[in-house]
Amino acid sequence: MSIAVFSGAPAYVLPERLRQLPRLAAFGLLPWLLVLAVNHETPWVVLDLAEFAALLSLDALLRRGSAAARWPGGVAALLLAGDALVDITCAGPGHAVLAALVMACCIELPLAAVCLLLGREAIRG
């Protein structure tokens, strides 16, 4: 089964496995949350917990087929994009900023885009 997304132009189809991505990403955050908590990085723990909650909410509403999935989809995308921006701007020079850029470009921003697409699909679906 596939997910059709309409944009006024010809429809394109998102692979069904993209619906699983918010749940997988949320559970992938758990080990990182533990590392942050052990190192007493409270602001980052709070931000990542908010991302975790938004991703699981998106997953739950997508499984129900609810049009309300657009809200956690947008929230998750906003949190992920903000996280990427703050990581890059707060990173030190050299390898730290390179790591932040790689995380932003390879994980956080693509996941934010998927969350937006899934939320948009929920509205039209």
Domain that holds residue 92: 17-124
Region class of 121: left (phi > 0), else alpha (psi between -120 and 50), else beta: alpha
The CB-side HSE value for 71 (13 A sphere, CA atoms) comes to 7
In a domain, 3, yes or no: no
Structural domains of the chain, count: 1
Is 10 a member of any domain? Answer: no
The mean pLDDT value for 71-78 works out to 96
Indicate whether 56 belongs to any domain.
yes
Instruction: Please report whether residue 40 resides in a domain.
Output: yes
- Which residue type sits at 41? E
Cβ partners under 8 Å of residue 80, min gap 6: 51, 108, 109, 111, 112, 115
What percentage of the chain carries pLDDT values higher than 90? 78
> Is 91 part of a structural domain of the chain?
yes
Statement: residue 7 has pLDDT above 70: no
Quick one: pLDDT at residue 1? 47
